[in-house]
Structures are given as structure tokens and as C-alpha cells.
Amino acid sequence: MPLADELAGLPLVDQHCHPVVLDPLDRPAFELLLTEAHEGGPAGTSAFDSAAGLAVRRWCAPALGLVPHAPIDDYLVRRDELGSVEASRRLLAACGAVDLLVDTGLSAPGLCSAARFGELAGARVHEVTRVEAVVEEVAARGVDAARLGAAVVEELGSRAAGSVGFKTVAAYRVGLDLPATAPGAAEVRRAADRWLAAAVVHGGERARFRLDDPVLIAHAVHTALSLGLPLQVHTGFGDPDLTLHRADPSLLTPLLRALPPEAGPIVLLHCYPYHRQAAYLAHAFPQVVLDLSLAVNHVGVRGAAVLAETLELAPFGSVLHGTDGFGLAELHHLGAALLRQALGTVLEGWLAEDALTADDALRLAGMIGAGNARRVYGLGG
């Protein structure tokens, strides 16, 4: 069978994604979900005039019964005709994902439940628990500063049982230069005093706590490491809350050098534009694996180039598939379609150069599409 046909049928594990919005979306709402920006572009411009916008027309239009490259107005009319639920179901089902690892720590108005999302996609759902959200939940219960550190340890311990992994958004809150060793109990206590006092003054309401204290984030991250599950780390680009250079995964080097023996795999998410740094870390530290979620969607037709740069140095057993689809089922669909396209372009090129055999190419695609994630998270086949 030609490689392209094999790739079209490759079962995928989407190791980082979020549920979708099932309410009807008008054009401005759709455009906003297609970009990492918090607001629309200048008048006269469109989010569809981007690599991601072209990719929606190329890859999502056929999933809704339109010709590839259908104009975006036709696409949105068709999406409305089908209804948001049916359009999402078609786009998700066509991803070919059999397992979805869902980050449940990010909520947004209109986002459906993880269970509903799995049902629409026809896939198994596994939960990934965001450590910062756990600290915020514990604080919102009214736990005092003296008890906060221990309560976070207890809560993360009990959440580990229902999760396939943890995730940290330290890149957003404090940057990735996390301390190599866990902060001591006294330091955690002082940080909790400081953070809770400031949160009460500024937030007024404990339910709105936002964890931005570097010591408490380090405490949560080191606690998660001690529990042995894979730890996903947001790295690289994201929305404008993030300061890009503080999300360079190479800032994690001191932590990676000092990982405790009980730590599970460290999973670098997104990585772009630091995918080469991430590939180096995966090369140098066997506990490190990575994905190109979010990145592949946004770079669109350049996905093959980004994947090829990643595979320059990353061991093939360290590269996982993820979409970071959030809100729009189009994003999950694009992540899957563009991975298949990128794998096809890279592997066909290597075959043409006689760099590997057709069997090697298929095996490598299977590892990146699903096998590596099954190993890292201990998922059944």
C-alpha cells in the first residue's frame, strides 16, 4: 500500500487537547478561536488570511462535504447548516484519534464536557490534571497558609489516581527557570502567607485565585514529579499572557539534570519556535519527550518543515502527536490532518533519498502517531 494511504488510516493518540464549543459561532467568534490573539486584527484583515486559515479551507472543508479550498464564507454557511454539534462531530470523527488526553484545567464559556467531547470524537478520554488549577482549588476551599503546602500534596496525590498525567503552565505564570530542587516546608509556608494575603487584597474572592507565586508553583511541580506520572510542560508560543523567551524549554535544564529517580517522563508541549531546543533536550535527557501540538495547526503547510527540524535531533521514540485543539473542532481536525501530511512529506523525502526503508517509515509513523504516547502514558492498545 502506498505510504499516503497507510498514513490516512493511521490511528492516533492526541496527547494534548481540550473540549470544543458546541454553541453556534458567528464569524468574529470563529476567527478569535482560530488565533492565539485576544482580539481581532485591524479592520480589513482576517484571521483566515494565515497558514491556519488556509489549512481550514484545505482540510476541514472536505470533512463538511465541501470541495477543498472552498471560500471561507461558504465554509461558515455550511457549518451553520449542519449545526455546530454535527459539524464538530464530523470534524472530530474524521481525525482518526482513538485516545484523547484532555487537559481539564482550562475552562471557557460554552466548552462541552470531556465526556461529551469523547463521545463526539468516538474516542476514549483520559484526564490530565493541571497542577496550578489544583493549588487554586485548594486555596478557594479556604485552606489557610499553614496548611496549604500539605493540602496541595494530599490533593495532587488523590488526583493522580484518576489522571494519566499532570500538566504545568509555569511558562505562563513565572517562566520555565524552575528551581532544580523542591522548596522546603518553611519556604512554602512563607510563600503561602504572601500569596494568600495578596490574593485576598487584590482578588477579594478566593474563587478567583490565580497562582503566580514561584515558590508555590515549584512546590506543585516537584510534588507532581514525586508522584511518578508524566508531567506535561507548556513550552514555546501561546496567547499574549505569555512572555515568549521565558517559555524556552532549555530553561528547564537545571530541573532536568536533577530529576528525582521516581519522576515520570517530562512532556514538552508545543515547543515552537523552540522545537529544536526541545529536540536537543529529548536527545540529551532520556526522560524528555515532546509534541508539536498547537504549532502544527498554526504553521499549516509548513508543518513538514517543523517536523523535519524536530526529527533532526529528537530520538524517534520521543516525538508524540498532539493537537491542542481548543474550542473549535477544526483545530483538532487540522492537527490530525496536518500531522499525516507532514509525516508523508518528510518520510517520502527520506525514502527518495534512500535514508530508510518503507518498513522503517511505517514503523516511525506508528510510533509518532500513537505508539510513543501509549508507552509514555501506559495506555492500553
Residue nearest Zn ion by beta-carbon distance: 324
CB of 20 to Zn ion, least distance (A): 13
CB of 33 to Zn ion, least distance (A): 13
The three three-digit cell numbers of residue 109, written as one number: 464559556
Instruction: Output Rg (C-alpha) for the chain, integer angstroms.
Output: 21
Cβ neighbours of residue 156 closer than 8 Å, sequence gap 6 or more: 129, 131, 134, 166, 220, 223, 224, 227
Output 166 or 195, the one with its CB closest to Zn ion. Answer: 166
Q: Is the dihedral of CA 165, 16, 103, 123 positive or negative?
A: negative
CB of 213 to Zn ion, least distance (A): 22
Output 149 or 322, the one with its CB closest to Zn ion. Answer: 322
d(CA 322, CA 121): 15
Q: Measuring CA to CA, which residue among 190, 198, 242 is closest to residue 219? A: 190
CB of 326 to Zn ion, least distance (A): 6
Residue 65 burial class via C-beta count within 10 angstroms: exposed 0-12, middle 13-18, buried 19 and up: exposed
CB of 156 to Zn ion, least distance (A): 20
d(CA 381, CA 372): 12
Stretch that binds Zn ion, among 43-51, 78-86, 317-325, 366-374 (CB under 5 A): 317-325
Q: Read out DSSP for 77-113?
A: HHHHHH-HHHHHHHHHHTT-EEEEEEETT---TTBPP
d(CA 360, CA 250): 30
Output 213 or 324, the one with its CB closest to Zn ion. Answer: 324
Query: Three-state SS for 23?
Result: coil
What residues from 19 to 78 belong to the interface with Zn ion (CB under 5 A)? none
The three three-digit cell numbers of residue 262, written as one number: 521516581
Output 329 or 364, the one with its CB closest to Zn ion. Answer: 329
Across 125-155, b (16+ Cβ under 10 Å) vs e yields bbebbbbbbbbbbbbeeebebeebbebbbeb
Of 55, 324, 370, 371, the one binding Zn ion (CB under 5 A) is 324
CB of 241 to Zn ion, least distance (A): 13
**Residue count (the chain):** 381
Stretch that binds Zn ion, among 86-94, 145-153, 304-312, 318-326 (CB under 5 A): 318-326
Output 105 or 264, the one with its CB closest to Zn ion. Answer: 105
Q: Does 132 bind Zn ion (CB under 5 A)?
A: no
Output 99 or 324, the one with its CB closest to Zn ion. Answer: 324
Output 104 or 345, the one with its CB closest to Zn ion. Answer: 104
Stretch that binds Zn ion, among 54-62, 65-73, 156-164, 319-327 (CB under 5 A): 319-327
CB of 103 to Zn ion, least distance (A): 5
CB of 284 to Zn ion, least distance (A): 25
CB of 193 to Zn ion, least distance (A): 32
Q: Are the C-beta atoms of 275 and 292 separated by less than 8 Å?
A: yes
Output 248 or 324, the one with its CB closest to Zn ion. Answer: 324
Task: Tell me how many residues contact Zn ion (CB under 5 A).
Answer: 1
Output 217 or 295, the one with its CB closest to Zn ion. Answer: 295
Stretch that binds Zn ion, among 90-98, 197-205, 321-329, 331-339 (CB under 5 A): 321-329
d(CA 220, CA 321): 26
Interface residues with Zn ion (CB under 5 A) are 324
